[in-house]
Structure 1
Amino acid sequence: MSAEYWYHLHFKLRLYEADGNAFQRLVADILHAAFPDFEPVAPAGRYGDGGNDGFIRGEGRYFQVYGPHAGSAPQPADVVRKVKEDFAKLRQRYPNLQRYSFVMNDRYRGVPANVSDALLALEQETGVACDAVASHVLADLFMKLPEVRRQMILGGVPTTLPEYVDPRAVAEVLQHLADAPMRVDPSRERAPDFEEKIRFNGLPPAVADRLRSMSYQCGTVEDFLASRGRHLAQAIAMELRELYAQSLATVTSDDADTSALRYVWMIEQLLPPVEHPHSLKAYREAAEVVLAKYFESCDVYAQPGPGRCAP
């Protein structure tokens, strides 16, 4: 999986999960990185933000950010009302308003047509330039940033070494994989339906290649589990099945990246939930090996067969 595709998936997942204040902070981070003169605005008590979530003073460009809750279906009429009300607040409070940008987390579904129509009508009525900033626009801005800025926005490698105990069963194998050198065995045979399962679940080539590559290291997982007893393997299998079920409920988009987004989401959930003395890179690779192992054993992703449908 190329670094660019990895960044694309991680950012898309971050957008998919972000709502409310989390989405506003994400937008502020991106705009500040993309436009050095961007100034974020926090609500001022009972006066609110005056319809202004951030602006570029020299351009007279003001941003209003709207992040509906993930999984919700906001009514277009309510969004149009917000567009108009915030625009009216801006015109009243900021006489230098030259451009109004309504930033909406549409989660790649597209800005509703009546929202675009409302922005066009405001522009025609007032002469102030109005536009919608959708998810794909934010993604384009993010992908144009230097890698160091992208890492800052998504989160990088932990630098502190706090004491921490991960209570999950899968934590034992993750820690072992992060500590020990991986054993790569190109001669290892995969499950007979490995390739069929990849096709059945619609996994894109980049993710399929990662699963194939990581499957050559599954012997390390198998050796570790053999030394710990059947109970640990069963507990991990149960955790992985629950994790996959959660991914189906969390990542509900129906675009071409859905199966890849679930893959990335599960990796992120497998990582220790707080800072940990191992590098994030080592844990991510360990998580991918674990997914490959339990992909083979039919605990994650749908299993092909009569009457089965890929989610």
Structure 2
Amino acid sequence: MEIPVLPTANWLDWYRSRHQQECTRSGTLFESYVEKVLARFHDDFVNPAPTGRFGDGGCDGLAEAGTIAYACYGQRPGRDAERELAKKIGKDFARALDQWPSFHTWRFVTNAPIGPRASAVIIDLQQAHGPASPRPLTIRRFDTDKLWLDIVAGLGATVLDELFPGAPGIANIELADLIPLLDSLGTASATVSSVHPVLPVPASKMDFNALPEASRAEFNYGRRLATRIDRWYEDASDPGLYDAHGDRFRALYSEARAVTSNPAEILERLYVAIAGPNVRMDGTRANAAFSVVSYFFDSCHIFEMPAVTATASEAEVSDALAH
């Protein structure tokens, strides 16, 4: 089953910055961007093409079986923006009201500043079409922030990457199905008791693999979230997910080990494999990556075990399971 990669942290900020860039465009360029976004947000979105004397019927899009009507206006430079915006709102609404009897929600999307005159027009329309009116309507204005929060931000990584290709850290993730775990570790949550204790690790393992001090510090920090990782695997719908990830970590480690013998570089390759090339751009995501990699280090899936202590460790585990 394909598990979606969700945009979080610096990725979502990057998408928002690209959205803001699109919203600085004027006229039809902004309106075309909004149409593209709405076509991905509503699976039945349609923008009526202007025809003859009817034009587009004062409508820049219909959705949800015609129950939502959109009007869109991209600011034109060098004009009296406030006066023109107020006039545009009133004109588009009146035409849509006359031409489209099916909608009960009307949304006006614009990148122009919405000042007191334009706001007054919207308020007048809301009062004229309140619950007690002959045709009650929900009338909302959408500035660029509301367009992002209510629509664009919820589109999901696949669609966002179609709209704004090239997000840092999205491509080339080897273990994409670990992204939900990384996201869960990045949220505030109380520490839970361990469900499956991590296999004991000989004290000499980090020495044996010559891990640098910085990597040891990252691991020691990451181990504080080990019980939360236990619980995540315990709650996973696939009981074989932990073993599958363990096998993949072994393969990724072997691939990295074939390229370099530097333990710090090997670890960096593992961090990138689960959290993307710019893992260190976001401290929360980086700490989650440290936690997951240290978890599989401690469970003996990656890096070598000292030969003698490995046998002793296995004996301790066998004895513990026997009792």
TM-score, normalization by structure 2:
0.43
Structure showing greater Rg: 2
TM-score, normalization by structure 1:
0.45
